[in-house]
Amino acid sequence: MTRIISFFVLLGLIMSCEVKEKIPTAQEIIDQSIQVSGGSNYTKSNIDFDFRDIHYSSKLENGNKVLERIIESDTALILDRKEPSGFKRFVNDSLIVLTDSLANNYANSVNSVHYFANLPYGLNDRAVQKKLLGKVDIKGKSYYKIEVTFKEEGGGDDFDDVYIYWFHTETFKPDYLAYEFHVNGGGQRFREAYNERYVGDIRFVDYKNYKPKLKNTSIYNIDSLFVNNQLELLSNITLENVKVNRGNYN
């Protein structure tokens, strides 16, 4: 009888522990992910890299973050600068007057490349809204699945786009992401991170870029499509010549 009672007491303790397992919130997951991926180094560093033969850099100037893109050809050197005060384009050191719409398009293009290169940093921007969708398995590993949407105010022109991120439940690193966009006819993309490396204590990855083979699929089921080989590989997104320089920005 004593053994039977002890067995049920032990069983009750095990079940109690399982019930009380703490699932982190979406905010806690993203905070931890940013910490393991670079933390405060994101705000202390100048970052340079090349992407598709174009040079990108982010730097701190007078306490403000400035994003740049340099496009070089045989006849011209184009410098695009996205500053807190607005966007500027220089061609051979001469400032070019742009229409508001064109300047906005260029600024969004520059911002997009820097955004993906520095993930998960940026997921705590004020316009970001996060929601934990649960836990899923991908290729035998467990992930927290988080939806990211944006407020209209401060969310940019594409504030209605929907992003999904998959964070490893042990490392908290974002190994996969997907997004649904509406410009140029709209579509969906799924990205698988590979070639992880740390440069200047900041995590960088390259991506395999996929799209669904079928139309009218739900962005919320795109991980299942990936697992079942229902995605088509479009391209590899590769960052080259990554450099991180730390300065004194007190």
Structural domain containing residue 128:
123-243
Question: Quick check: 122 pLDDT over 70?
Answer: yes
Cβ neighbours of residue 148 under 8 Å, at least 6 residues apart? Answer: 123, 128, 129, 130, 162, 163, 164, 165
The reply to whether 157 and 202 lie within a common domain is yes
pLDDT > 70: percent of the chain? 87
Cβ neighbours of residue 215 under 8 Å, at least 6 residues apart? Answer: none
pLDDT-derived band of residue 195, with 50, 70 and 90 as boundaries? very high
**Within-domain flag for 72:** yes
Count of CB atoms within 10 A of residue 143's CB?
22
The reply to whether 85 and 103 lie within a common domain is yes
> Which residue intervals of the chain are DSSP H helices?
2-19, 26-37, 41-44, 100-117, 222-227
The reply to whether 114 and 158 lie within a common domain is no
pTM of the model: 0.86
Q: What is the mean pLDDT of the chain?
A: 89
Question: Quick check: 177 pLDDT over 60?
Answer: yes
The reply to whether 108 and 185 lie within a common domain is no
Q: Could you report the per-residue pLDDT of 57-93, keeping only the tens digit for each?
A: 999 888 888 999 999 988 999 999 999 989 999 999 9
Q: Could you report the per-residue pLDDT of 136-154, keeping only the tens digit for each?
A: 999 999 999 999 998 876 5
The percent helix, strand, coil of the chain (3-state, each to 5) is 25, 45, 30
